[in-house]
Amino acid sequence: MSEAKHDQKDKNGKLVFKLVATVFLMFGFAFALVPLYDVFCDITGINGRTADSAAVYESVEVDRSRKITIEFITRTNTGMPWEFKAQTRKVEVFPGEMNQVDFYVKNATNKDYVAQAIPSVSPGTAALYINKTECFCFNHQPLAAGAEAVMPMKFYIDPQLPKDITFFTLQYTLYDVTASAQDVAMNQG
Amino acid sequence: MSTATTELDHDDHHHHAPSGIKRWLYTTNHKDIGTLYLWFAFIMFLIGGAMAMVIRAELFQPGLQIVEPNFFNQMTTVHGLIMVFGAVMPAFTGLANWLVPMMIGAPDMALPRMNNWSFWILPGAFTILLASLFMEGGGPAFGWTFYAPLSTTYSNDTTALFVFSVHIMGISSIMGAINVIVTIFNMRAPGMTWMKMPLFVWTWLITAFLLIAVMPVLAGAVTMVLTDKFFGTSFFDAAGGGDPVMFQHIFWFFGHPEVYIMILPAFGIISAIIPTFSRKKLFGYASMVYATTSIALLSFIVWAHHMFTTGMPVGAELFFMFATMLISVPTGVKVFNWVATMWRGSLTFEVPMLFALAFIVLFTIGGLSGLMLAIVPVDFQYHDTYFVVAHFHYVLVTGAIFSIMAAVYYWLPKWTGKMFDVTLAKWHFWCSLISVNVLFFPMHFVGLAGMPRRIPDYALQFADFNKWISLGGFAFGLSQLIFLALLIKACRKKGEPVSAQVWEGAEGLEWEIPSPAPYHTFETPPVIK
Amino acid sequence: MKKIWSSALALLVSCFAFAVSAETSSAVDQYQLNLRKGVTDISGQVYDLHMLMFIICVVIGVLVFAVMFWSMIFHRKSRGAKPANFHESVKVEIAWTIIPFIILVVMAFPAAKTLIAMEDTSEPDVTVLVTGSQWKWHYKYMDNDVEFYSTLATQPEQINNKFDKGENYLLEVDRPLVIPTGSKVRFLVTSDDVIHSWWVPDFAVKKDANPGFINEAWTNVNEPGIYRGQCAELCGKDHGFMPIVVIAKDPADYQAWISEQQEAQRKAKEEEQRLLAMNMSMEELMSTGEQVYLRTCAACHQPNGQGLPGVFPGLAGSEMALNDIQGHIDIVVNGKAGTSMQAFGKQLTMSEVAAVVTYERNAWGNNTGDMIQAKDVNAVINGK
| DSSP codes joined into one string, A15-62 | HHHHHHHHHHHHHHHHHHHHHHHHHHHHHH-TT-PPPSSPPP---PPP
**Residue C323 neighbours by CB distance under 10 Å:** 12
Query: What is the CATH number that goes with domain A68-188?
Result: 2.60.370.10
Torsion-angle region of residue B332: left (phi > 0), alpha (psi -120 to 50) or beta? alpha
Chain C positions with Cβ closer than 8 Å to A: 119, 121-124, 127, 129, 131, 142, 188, 190, 192-193, 211-216, 330, 333-339, 341-343, 345, 380-383
Per-residue pLDDT tens digits for B358-369? 999 999 999 999
Q: Look at residue B213 in the predicted model and tell me its pLDDT.
A: 96
Cα-flanking dihedrals φ and ψ of residue C345, to 5°?
Answer: -55, -30
Asked if C188 and C130 touch (Cβ cutoff 8 Å), the reply is yes
Contact C310 B369 (CB under 8 A): no
Asked if B281 and B271 touch (Cβ cutoff 8 Å), the reply is no
Of the candidates C73, C75, C91, the one whose C-alpha atom is nearest the C-alpha of residue B284 is: C91
Asked if B202 and B192 touch (Cβ cutoff 8 Å), the reply is no
Asked if B466 and B59 touch (Cβ cutoff 8 Å), the reply is yes
CA angle C310, C311, C312 (to 5 degrees): 110
Is the predicted ipTM greater than 0.85, yes or no? yes
A170 forms beta bridges with: A72, A121
Contact B243 A8 (CB under 8 A): no
Contact C122 A167 (CB under 8 A): yes
Query: What integer is the mean pLDDT of C194-205?
Result: 95
Query: What is the CATH number that goes with domain C278-381?
Result: 1.10.760.10
Q: Look at residue A188 in the predicted model and tell me its pLDDT.
A: 52
Q: Look at residue B137 in the predicted model and tell me its pLDDT.
A: 86
Catalogue the active-site residues of B: 79, 108, 144, 172-173, 256, 258, 260, 271, 305-306, 331, 334, 453
For chain C, list the contacting chains (3+ Cβ pairs, <8 Å).
Answer: A, B
Separation of alpha carbons B299 and B258, rounded Å: 9
Q: Which residue of A has its CA nearest to B252?
A: A30
- Detail the DSSP E strand segments found in B428-488: none
Residues of B (109-128) whose Cβ lies below 8 Å from C: none
Give SS3 for A164.
Answer: coil
Separation of alpha carbons A18 and B117, rounded Å: 20
Contacts with B216 from chain A: Cβ below 8 Å:
23-27, 29-30
Of B212, B235, B239, the CB nearest to A22: B212
- CB-count exposure of residue B23 (10 Å: 0-12, 13-18, 19+): middle
Pick among A22, A25, A36, A46 to test the B interface (most B CBs inside 10 A): A46
Q: Look at residue A146 in the predicted model and tell me its pLDDT.
A: 85
Integer CA distances (angstroms), C347 to B274, C133, C244, in order: 63, 11, 18
Give SS3 for C233.
Answer: coil
List Cβ neighbours of A145 (8 Å cut-off, separation of 6 or more). Answer: A107, A109, A110, A111, A112, C383
Contacts with C199 from chain B: Cβ below 8 Å:
384, 452
Separation of alpha carbons C356 and C346, rounded Å: 14
Q: What is the b/e burial string over C101-113, where b = at least 16 CB atoms within 10 angstroms of the residue's CB?
A: eebbeebbebbbe
Contact A120 C338 (CB under 8 A): no
Confidence of residue C24 (pLDDT cuts 50, 70, 90): very low
Q: HSE of C231 in the Cβ direction (CA atoms, 13 Å)?
A: 36
Separation of alpha carbons B199 and B195, rounded Å: 9
Radius of gyration of chain B (CA): 23
Task: Choose between A43 and C354: higher pLDDT.
Answer: C354
Separation of alpha carbons B388 and B259, rounded Å: 14
Report the percentage of chain B scoring pLDDT > 70.
97
Cα-flanking dihedrals φ and ψ of residue C21, to 5°?
Answer: -140, 125
Separation of alpha carbons B194 and B185, rounded Å: 9
With 50 as the cut, is the pLDDT of residue C150 above it? yes
Contacts with C379 from chain A: Cβ below 8 Å:
none
Of C45, C71, C97, the CB nearest to B329: C97
Q: Which parts of chain A have pLDDT scores under 70?
A: 1-3, 59, 183-189
Q: Look at residue A109 in the predicted model and tell me its pLDDT.
A: 82
Separation of alpha carbons C308 and C170, rounded Å: 23
Integer CA distances (angstroms), A20 to A13, B94, B116, B166, B300, in order: 10, 22, 18, 19, 20
Pick among C121, C187, C193, C347 to test the A interface (most A CBs inside 10 A): C121
- CB of A47 within 8 Å of a chain B CB? The answer is yes
Contact A33 B253 (CB under 8 A): yes
With 90 as the cut, is the pLDDT of residue B446 above it? yes
With 70 as the cut, is the pLDDT of residue B502 above it? yes
Contact C190 A120 (CB under 8 A): yes
Query: What integer is the mean pLDDT of B127-138?
Result: 93
Give SS3 for C81.
Answer: coil
Give SS3 for A176.
Answer: strand
Separation of alpha carbons C219 and C189, rounded Å: 13
Q: What kind and span of H or E run contains A130?
A: strand A130-135
- CB of A140 within 8 Å of a chain B CB? The answer is no
Separation of alpha carbons A76 and A173, rounded Å: 5
Asked if B149 and B237 touch (Cβ cutoff 8 Å), the reply is yes
Task: Choose between C244 and C9: higher pLDDT.
Answer: C244
Contact A118 B239 (CB under 8 A): yes
Confidence of residue B514 (pLDDT cuts 50, 70, 90): very high
Query: What integer is the mean pLDDT of B69-75?
Result: 95
Query: What integer is the mean pLDDT of C278-284?
Result: 87
Q: Which residue of C has its CA nearest to B313?
A: C119
Query: What integer is the mean pLDDT of B406-422?
Result: 96
Q: Which residue of B has its CA nearest to A45?
A: B313
C189: closest CA of chain A, how far (Å): 10
List Cβ neighbours of C269 (8 Å cut-off, separation of 6 or more). Answer: none
- CB of B200 within 8 Å of a chain A CB? The answer is no
Give SS3 for B232.
Answer: coil
**Residue C256 neighbours by CB distance under 10 Å:** 12
List Cβ neighbours of A144 (8 Å cut-off, separation of 6 or more). Answer: A107, A112
Q: Look at residue A184 in the predicted model and tell me its pLDDT.
A: 61
List Cβ neighbours of A38 (8 Å cut-off, separation of 6 or more). Answer: none
B172: closest CA of chain A, how far (Å): 13
Asked if C220 and C184 touch (Cβ cutoff 8 Å), the reply is yes
Task: Render C10-43 in DSSP notation, one character per residue.
Answer: HHHHHHHHHHH-----SS--TT--S----SBHHH
In the CATH hierarchy, which fold is given to the domain comprising C126-270? Immunoglobulin-like (2.60.40)
Separation of alpha carbons B522 and B316, rounded Å: 52
Q: Which residue of C has its CA nearest to B370?
A: C57
- Dihedral sign of CA atoms A15, B223, B393, B367 in order: negative
Integer CA distances (angstroms), B150 to B64, B144, B227, C135, C301, in order: 23, 12, 14, 13, 18
Q: Look at residue C3 in the predicted model and tell me its pLDDT.
A: 45
Contact B283 C60 (CB under 8 A): no
Of B217, B241, B311, the CB nearest to A29: B217
Q: Which residue of A has its CA nearest to C339?
A: A78
Q: What is the b/e burial string over B38-75, where b = at least 16 CB atoms within 10 angstroms of the residue's CB?
A: bbbbbbbbbbbbebbbbbbebbbbbbbeebebbbbbbb
Query: What integer is the mean pLDDT of C258-265?
Result: 92
Separation of alpha carbons B87 and B170, rounded Å: 14
Per-residue pLDDT tens digits for B345-355? 999 999 999 99
B10: closest CA of chain A, how far (Å): 26
Of the candidates B33, B5, B17, the one whose C-alpha atom is nearest the C-alpha of residue B116 is: B33
Interhelix angle C350-362/C374-382, nearest 10 degrees: 110
Query: What integer is the mean pLDDT of C313-331?
Result: 88
For chain A, list the contacting chains (3+ Cβ pairs, <8 Å).
Answer: B, C
Q: What kind and span of H or E run contains A70?
A: strand A68-76
Q: Which residue of B has its CA nearest to C89?
A: B284
Of C142, C216, C342, the CB nearest to A122: C216
Which amino acid appears at position B298 of this protein? L
Of the candidates A117, C359, C297, the one whose C-alpha atom is nearest the C-alpha of residue B240 is: A117
Q: Look at residue B15 in the predicted model and tell me its pLDDT.
A: 52
Q: Look at residue B181 in the predicted model and tell me its pLDDT.
A: 97
Pick among B212, B225, B308 to test the A interface (most A CBs inside 10 A): B212
Asked if B277 and C76 touch (Cβ cutoff 8 Å), the reply is no
Pick among A112, A122, A170 to test the C interface (most C CBs inside 10 A): A122
Query: What integer is the mean pLDDT of C174-181?
Result: 95
With 60 as the cut, is the pLDDT of residue C19 above it? no
Separation of alpha carbons C360 and C34, rounded Å: 48
Task: Choose between B511 and C28: higher pLDDT.
Answer: B511
Report the percentage of chain B scoring pLDDT > 90.
88
- CB of B65 within 8 Å of a chain C CB? The answer is yes
Query: What integer is the mean pLDDT of B202-207?
Result: 97
Asked if C210 and B245 touch (Cβ cutoff 8 Å), the reply is yes
Asked if A94 and A64 touch (Cβ cutoff 8 Å), the reply is yes
Most confidently modeled of B203-207, B461-465, C219-223? Answer: B203-207
